[in-house]
Amino acid sequence: MLDFLQAASDGVLFGATYALIGIGFTLVFGVMHKINMAYAAASIGGAYAGLLVLKVMAAAPPALVFLGAFAAGGLLGWMVYLTCFHFIPLSSPLATLMSTVGMLLLIDEVIVHFTEGMPQNYPAMFDDVMLRAGEFTLRGDLLLVFGVAVVCMAALMLLLYRTRLGLATRAVSQQPVAARLCGIRLEQVNATTFVVTGLLGGIAGALIGASVGTLSPLLTTPLTVKGLIVTVIGGLGSIPGAIVAGLLVGGFENVFQLYRGVTERDLYVMLLLFVFLVFRPGGIFAAKSGGD
């Protein structure tokens, strides 16, 4: 039982990073009804860019590196918008999808060429803190990851539901034509959405780097897959869904690994995805709907 609790809690805490990646996917989909496949790669790219802070100031505290990743993530988000969405006709869904796949590979390769593919040590906060209750332990750095993720999610919800920008974003998401008629500039809202998700991605990338302790381009593809799974399980466009799904996937993944081993772990996560696609295609918070 203790093993189960330990695996589940470790997984849920780490799942906060999946939730952040999932939110990025789902927010872009919610606003523009497009999938940004480059999101996880841009997030990791932001985390790498955060390391530049250490090049300028070798003794910089980890928080400053995180801040660098946050800013770089926003910039990368805006660049992804410009290259993959702004100049490409949005009426062609495949064109934007493929351009973001191309961007994923491009970001990946740029990272590889800058770092020669070498893993980079990533600074962490509270990595030497371990909360103990008998045999049961909780990692301090993962608690921080969880806390920062919760704060980011809360800030995002505030932005969406308590600001004019959020109102405009929701308006564009629900009725783009009506929003335009009301004087909302669609391109500006779309670009802002990418910057906001980029900022979130930068933090997610940095938190992932900090919790693993090392950054590698190897991370981009698995994170893209996890982000998409979280988005589908949470329901496309649902932010609360992405949060719960991220934690759920993280927890399930670790429990499956405990009982079935690492080689079967992803198999069960995929099965979980299919279960949702069949029985709750709209995601966790969607109304129950029937299949064919």
Partner 1 sequence: MKKLAFAIALAFAAGGAMAQDKTIKISGFGAKTGPVRMFGVNSEAALLAAAEVINKAGGVKLADGSKAKMVVDFYDDRCNAEEGISVIRRIAGGDALVAIGPTCSNVAEPLFGILQKKAGDASDSGLQFPVFTDVAIKVGLAKISEWAFRNVPNEITMYSSVFYWLHTTRPELKTVYGGVEEDFAHSRASWHIVMKDRATANNFNVVGESKWLLADTNFATQVREMKKANADIIAISAHPFSLCGALKEMARQGVKPKVLVGLTSSSSLETLQGCAKQAQGIIIPTSFAPVTKDGKFAAQSTAKFKGAADLHSMAAWENMFILKDVMEAAKITGKDVQGDRRRIRDGLAMLKTTQGLMGVTKRTDDREADKPYLFVQAKGNEWVVLHNPL
Region class of 117: left (phi > 0), else alpha (psi between -120 and 50), else beta = left
| Contact string 120-159 vs partner 1 (x = CB under 8 A) | xx-----xx-x------x-x-x------------------
**Which position among 67, 212, 284, 286 is part of the footprint of partner 1 (CB under 8 A)?**
212
Among 60, 218, 284, 286, binds partner 1 (CB under 8 A): 218
User: Would you call 77 helix, strand, or coil by DSSP?
Assistant: helix
**Residue 270 binds partner 1, judged by CB under 8 A:** no
Instruction: Please state the closest distance from residue 254 (CB atom) to partner 1, in A.
Output: 6
Q: What are phi and psi of 112, to 5 degrees?
A: -60, -40
Single out the residue of 221, 240, 284, 286 in contact with partner 1 (rule: CB under 8 A): 221
State the nearest-atom distance from the C-beta of 277 to partner 1, in Å.
24
3-state secondary structure of 130: strand
The answer to whether the beta carbons of residues 100 and 80 sit under 8 Å apart is: yes
Interacting residues of 2 by C-beta distance below 8 A, sequence separation 6+: 135, 136
Cα separation of 44 and 101, whole Å?
15
Residues in the chain: 292
| Structure token pair of residue 53 | 């802070």
Q: Least Å distance between CB 42 and partner 1?
A: 18
**Shortest approach of partner 1 to residue 12 CB, angstroms?**
11
In the complex, the residues that contact partner 1 under the rule CB under 8 A are 3, 6-7, 10-11, 14, 109, 112-113, 116-121, 127-128, 130, 137, 139, 141, 208, 211-214, 216-219, 221-222, 254, 257-258, 261-263
